[in-house]
Amino acid sequence: MCHTQNLALFDRKVQAEGGEVSAAHTTVDHIAFTIESSDYEAEKQRLEGLGLAVSTEEHKWVHWRSLYVFDPEGNEVELVCYDPSV
């Protein structure tokens, strides 16, 4: 199963409504990158080792497992892998 990947870059110098430059004012929900299922646990440990709060989710309807973290600007980043056991 394929998961479409997109990367959108925004000019953070452009001010959002109210004059603030903030991830809270972006229209981006999150960005996602596909990883191999064999890398899932190692990536989770690596991210936690960097001091990031990692949340996990299983998306049973598509057999995906995901790791979620927030980047320094507050954008949610997902690492997702196909796992037929989910």
Q: Residues 11-47: pLDDT tens digits?
A: 656 555 555 555 555 566 788 899 999 999 999 999 9
CATH architecture of 29-82: Roll (3.10)
Q: Backbone phi, then psi, for 45, in 5-degree steps?
A: -65, -40
Compute how many other C-beta atoms are within 10 angstroms of the C-beta atom of residue 85: 7
Sheet containing strand 76-82, strands side by side: 31-34, 76-82, 64-70, 55-59
Domain ranges for the chain, please list them.
Answer: 29-82
Residues 5, 14: Cα–Cα separation, whole Å: 25
Least confident range of 11-15, 18-22, 72-76, 82-86:
18-22
Q: Which pTM does this prediction carry? A: 0.70
pLDDT, averaged across the chain: 81
CA distances in angstroms from 38 to 17, 19, 28, 48, 76, listed in the order given: 43, 44, 28, 17, 22
Which band of pLDDT confidence, cut at 50, 70 and 90, is reported for residue 71?
Answer: confident
12 contacts 21 by C-beta, under 8 angstroms: yes
Are 34 and 5 a contacting pair, CB within 8 Å?
yes
